[in-house]
Chains A and B, each alone.
Chain A
């Protein structure tokens, strides 16, 4: 008979205890795996999404908040910046493209984002692709909407009324004036973009100057006033008081821009009877990477706006907020693992009393002390291995269970069966990075289990054969 079979038989003899102990190991391992996968995939998605954006520009305040709002469609805006500032950025010779972003209302909690069709034609999402239509067309006039794939509350050609604010609350009333019509639906991108309702810039009420010819509407006026910065609304504002880069072809335009621009009316598109005076943010791509840093510096020096690097903010977010939370969660799951490990000890230890006779009989049949010792260690390791492998399944099944919820909340698509990428910073252990994290976690669990088997194994080793044969 082979040793494996003996161990299997010994475990089967106490099937319930074995199963319960294995299950507790599975819980610990599953928890560690689920948390690690979740963190890793969230971080990957965050970084990937951030990588689609070089630089975002918005009202002064927290750069993280600006990035969260513009890139991840979370949190509230830092405020608005003048429309003219956007135009100025767009015309800057270093800028490859500048896409405006205006946050207004919501529909059932899905944000309405006003932008230009460039958002779809120029912005490259993760994987290098662009947002594509699954049906319908892009908006071509005001009050037409293109919805992300996760905006399941709306269908093509459906009409809807938006509510004030970025969140769906009881208090916020519906806009009475304008009904939106869904004209296009985007394909799923697996990014927060999927939860957004895109509309033209002109459909965002909050960024308009009230039309002097129209009777003043209460809520809109309040909003407009609250968001008007100190400068004259709509007036172009210089990037910086002094421009360090000599621009030979437009020396004099530069100086002109420091003053109030007389040509404002022509530059500002006229949407119906209202005029766009502000945007929430501008998504910038520069012609070459060095300009990124230059623009970042210039904009932040100036009094009007701030610029933030989404990639940097994403990394900071993870380092400052997500990583500590992750540590806490991992510590909790490690504790679950340790408790499970101790349960191996307790479980084998408890069976030891009834097993002394069996061990004595085996010894009388010629089994050596170290054979009995190693069998107990193998038993403990086997319980952990079974629990560990079940834990891999349990962890990934947890992700499968969370998939829908995670997509609904954040637009992030979890890959429930994607293995953990091992990322050990130590060069001596770098060879382990080729192995999926699951294998390493189970290996640690098995080693821990065997360690827990040590005490009962020593006690089995010391079994008094003669005394236990006669009792």
Chain B
């Protein structure tokens, strides 16, 4: 379902030179599969997720997702593709501060161009245990609650792939466990593949397949 081949990424350095961050000859993910990708800070985990989401374009190589080669798409088409096929969970939640929990989900559904926003948003928030907090603004929610909204939002647009960037590293132990379990359960229920990147081995241990970034990234 997701297939990366000969993917390289170089950043433009300040001195005018380039910094090679990624060189992945081959990486695949099956539909509905849940994978933890483990790597130290600065190894290029976020960069990889941005590439898969089409937020960044690779220096070279091919990203194929759900039968579409992302490299071939225009930026607008990539935006649309991302809106329809990908869910994204951020380390620092990144909820939109001017919108309630429910509206944060509805925006995702709106961008995907799907209908039935309010009902789906309510249902998902209920599933993450926030039925009583639908109309709360992010600042009125605890960190654990905010990330649960973040998880529900990632699934609001019915994605085929959820990308999670250190989703639990801003949470305490109790919330970490809840969030992790919700993420795993919801993705399974919604038939979305899940790619979690983390530096935390305890988090990685929860997944059936764990990949070391340094094993697939040949710098």
Which residues does A use to contact B, with CB under 8 Å?
1, 6, 9-10, 12-13, 357-358, 361-371, 465-466, 469-470
A465 & B55 in contact (Cβ 8 Å cutoff): yes
Residues of A within 8 A of B112 (CB): 366
- Kindly state whether residue B83 has any CB partner on chain A within 8 Å: yes
Residues of A within 8 A of B97 (CB): 13, 358
A-contacting 9-mer, from B25-33, B100-108, B182-190 = B100-108
Which among A1, A465, A470 has the greatest number of chain B C-beta atoms within 10 A?
Answer: A1
A361 & B84 in contact (Cβ 8 Å cutoff): no
6 other A-B residue contacts (CB within 8 Å) besides A362-B96, A365-B107, A465-B55: A358-B97, A361-B94, A361-B96, A364-B90, A371-B111, A469-B55
Cross-chain contact of B75 among A10, A365, A369, A470 (Cβ < 8 A): A369
Which residues does B use to contact A, with CB under 8 Å?
46, 50, 53, 55-56, 75-76, 79-80, 82-84, 86, 88, 90, 94, 96-99, 103, 106-112, 117, 153, 157
4 closest cross-chain pairs (CB), A and B: A366-B83, A13-B98, A366-B111, A1-B106
Q: Which residue of B lies closest to A3 (CB)?
A: B110
Q: Which residue of B lies closest to A1 (CB)?
A: B106
A358 to B97, CA, bound (A): 8
With A368-B76, A466-B56: A12-B96 Cβ-Cβ less than 8 Å:
no
A365 & B88 in contact (Cβ 8 Å cutoff): yes
Residues of A within 8 A of B55 (CB): 363-364, 465-466, 469
Cross-chain contact of B79 among A357, A358, A361, A368 (Cβ < 8 A): A368
A364 to B164, CA, bound (A): 12
A205 to B21, CA, bound (A): 105
A324 to B110, CA, bound (A): 54
Cross-chain contact of A367 among B56, B79, B103 (Cβ < 8 A): B79
Q: Which residue of B lies closest to A9 (CB)?
A: B98
Which among A12, A358, A469 has the greatest number of chain B C-beta atoms within 10 A?
Answer: A469
Which among A366, A368, A369, A371 has the greatest number of chain B C-beta atoms within 10 A?
Answer: A366
Q: List 10 A-B contacts (CB under 8 A).
A: A1-B117, A9-B98, A362-B96, A364-B53, A364-B55, A364-B82, A365-B107, A366-B79, A366-B83, A469-B50
Residues of A within 8 A of B103 (CB): 1, 9
A368 to B98, CA, bound (A): 19
A6 & B76 in contact (Cβ 8 Å cutoff): no
A6 to B99, CA, bound (A): 8
Residues of B within 8 A of A13 (CB): 97-98
Residues of A within 8 A of B79 (CB): 363, 366-369
Q: Which residue of B lies closest to A465 (CB)?
A: B55
A364 & B88 in contact (Cβ 8 Å cutoff): yes
Q: Which residue of B lies closest to A14 (CB)?
A: B98
A357 & B94 in contact (Cβ 8 Å cutoff): yes
A357 to B96, CA, bound (A): 9
B76 & A369 in contact (Cβ 8 Å cutoff): yes
Q: Which residue of A lies closest to B93 (CB)?
A: A361
With A1-B103, A1-B107, A13-B97: A366-B46 Cβ-Cβ less than 8 Å:
no
Which among B96, B99, B103, B117 has the greatest number of chain A C-beta atoms within 10 A?
Answer: B96
Residues of B within 8 A of A370 (CB): 76
Residues of A within 8 A of B99 (CB): 9
A13 to B79, CA, bound (A): 25
Q: Which residue of B lies closest to A11 (CB)?
A: B98
A362 & B107 in contact (Cβ 8 Å cutoff): yes
Minimum C-beta distance from A358 to chain B (A): 6
With A12-B98, A465-B55: A6-B80 Cβ-Cβ less than 8 Å:
no
Which among B46, B80, B98 has the greatest number of chain A C-beta atoms within 10 A?
Answer: B98
Q: Which residue of A lies closest to B47 (CB)?
A: A466
A368 & B80 in contact (Cβ 8 Å cutoff): yes
A121 to B84, CA, bound (A): 83
Minimum C-beta distance from B29 to chain A (A): 19
A470 to B49, CA, bound (A): 12
Residues of B within 8 A of A364 (CB): 53, 55, 82, 88, 90, 94
Q: Which residue of A lies closest to B102 (CB)?
A: A1
Residues of A within 8 A of B98 (CB): 9-10, 12-13, 358
Q: Which residue of A lies closest to B94 (CB)?
A: A361
A471 to B82, CA, bound (A): 21
A366 & B108 in contact (Cβ 8 Å cutoff): yes
A371 to B94, CA, bound (A): 19
Q: Which residue of B lies closest to A364 (CB)?
A: B88
Residues of B within 8 A of A361 (CB): 90, 94, 96
Q: Which residue of A lies closest to B50 (CB)?
A: A466
A465 to B75, CA, bound (A): 12
With A365-B107, A367-B111, A466-B55: A358-B83 Cβ-Cβ less than 8 Å:
no
Residues of B within 8 A of A369 (CB): 75-76, 79
A264 to B103, CA, bound (A): 96
Q: Which residue of A lies closest to B137 (CB)?
A: A13
Minimum C-beta distance from A177 to chain B (A): 80
Residues of A within 8 A of B107 (CB): 1, 6, 362, 365, 367
Minimum C-beta distance from B102 to chain A (A): 9
Minimum C-beta distance from A359 to chain B (A): 10
Minimum C-beta distance from B123 to chain A (A): 16
A365 & B153 in contact (Cβ 8 Å cutoff): yes
A309 to B27, CA, bound (A): 95
Residues of B within 8 A of A362 (CB): 96, 107, 111
Residues of A within 8 A of B76 (CB): 368-370
